[in-house]
Amino acid sequence: MALDYKKAGVDIEAGYKSVELIKGYVKETNRPEVLGGLGGFSGAFSLSKIKDMEDPVLLSGTDGVGTKIKLAFLLDKHDTIGIDAVAMCVNDVACAGGEPLFFLDYIACGKNIPEKIAAIVKGVAEGCKQSDAALIGGETAEHPGLMPEDEYDVAGFAVGVVDRKDMIDGSTIKAGDVLIGVASSGVHSNGFSLVRKVFDMTKESLETYYDELGATLGETLLTPTKIYVKMMKSIKNAGVKVKGCSHITGGGFYENIPRMLPDGIKAVIKKDSYDIPPIFSLMAKKGGIEEEMMYNTYNMGLGMVLAVDPADVDATMKAIEASGDKAWIVGSAENGEKGVELV
């Protein structure tokens, strides 16, 4: 018997089919700067608009969605996990004051099932639309023998731009500045290895309805990560200079908030200043997880924390509301050793 690539486990025809299925989704993310269509060896993006900036700085972010992907396998629901992959990258770019320009995704799978790949990319395209980024390329790699046939992983990276004078780096934060917390959509894409220890990871467990969640466990946990690009743009358009911005991802409050602080400044956050989504209380109770560990792992209901001058608070809150997001004044910057204090 003559061997070929298909007998070795890689189906090139399935690869062609998945590309055909995703073309429509990719097209929806187009920006005027995108040159050429899918099928080239690289994605091309014109930088002509950047000429208008005084000192353009390219920003990039790369990430995956971690073990949240296991829930997509169990529920056989693959159309939102791509939003998470985009969100994790573009939120980091937005955090520095940048505008995401384009995104590329990478999907590794045990077996290329074109309809499943198309569902994943549909989510990626949706994330790109939410952040005004063009999906200009990607890769689907079939890995027989390395991954089980029904499993996959998705990751990607975003490239954005900011004029150096508009960069947000936290260097001007001082005592008295106000901290604004912006609502997350839930657990987002971090801490799922712990989530998977707290709850039984079975289809039955994930399809269990909880009154306090107002949804099934699976629906709540698979809720896509919120994308904050348009919100950050809304604040900028309102003429507010955000002094510092922290994207609350893995490591929760304790690891991420200090990343925006200069030396000699601490963030004091009032725990009861905002609404904590019920999923976090349920998890803490069911898993017997101590409060400090919860704030050290999860976003606890705040996907982003911004530092602004007290004079800019009203304009910032209005701009956040105008973008459809919800925010609270959650604390302040104070003199002290760099870190986070929860009160």
Q: What is the pLDDT of residue 119?
A: 94
Structure tokens at 322: 């105008």
- The answer to whether residue 324 scores a pLDDT higher than 90 is yes
Query: CA of 155: how far to CAs of 18, 86, 118, 238, in Å?
Result: 17, 8, 15, 33
Instruction: Decide if 144 contacts 9 (C-beta within 8 A).
Output: yes
Mean pLDDT of the chain: 93
- What are the strands, taking DSSP E only, across 85-177? 99-109, 134-142, 152-163
Angle at 278 between CA 324 and CA 296, to 5 degrees: 90
Higher pLDDT, 1 or 14: 14
* Edge-to-edge strand list for the sheet holding 302-308: 244-247, 302-308, 178-183, 327-335, 265-269, 339-342
Q: d(Cα 44, Cα 298) in Å, to the nearest integer?
A: 37
Q: Output phi, psi for 303, to 5 deg.
A: -80, -25
Domains recognised in the chain with CATH numbers: 12-166 (3.30.1330.10), 178-342 (3.90.650.10)
Q: Would residue 183 be called left, alpha or beta, if left means φ above 0 and alpha means ψ between -120 and 50 degrees?
A: beta
Highest mean pLDDT among 113-122, 141-150, 328-337: 328-337
- The answer to whether residue 156 scores a pLDDT higher than 90 is yes
> 204-250 pLDDT, tens per residue?
999 999 999 999 999 999 999 999 999 999 999 999 999 999 999 98
> 290-311 pLDDT, tens per residue?
999 999 999 999 999 999 999 9
Helix (H, G, I), strand (E, B) or coil at 249: coil
Query: pLDDT category, 1, cuts 50, 70, 90?
Result: low
Which long-range contacts link 49-56 to residues 24+ away (Cβ below 8 Å)?
50/161, 53/161, 53/163, 54/163, 54/164, 54/165, 55/163, 55/164, 55/165, 56/161, 56/162, 56/163, 56/164
Whether the full predicted model's pTM is greater than 0.85, yes or no, is yes
Q: What is the pLDDT of residue 260?
A: 96
Task: Find the mean pLDDT for residues 306-317.
Answer: 97
Task: Find the mean pLDDT for residues 130-141.
Answer: 93
Instruction: Decide if 273 contacts 183 (C-beta within 8 A).
Output: no
> 198-209 pLDDT, tens per residue?
998 899 999 999
Instruction: Decide if 242 contacts 233 (C-beta within 8 A).
Output: no
> 21-80 pLDDT, tens per residue?
878 888 889 999 998 776 677 888 999 888 899 999 999 999 999 999 999 999 999 999
Q: What is the pLDDT of residue 26?
A: 84
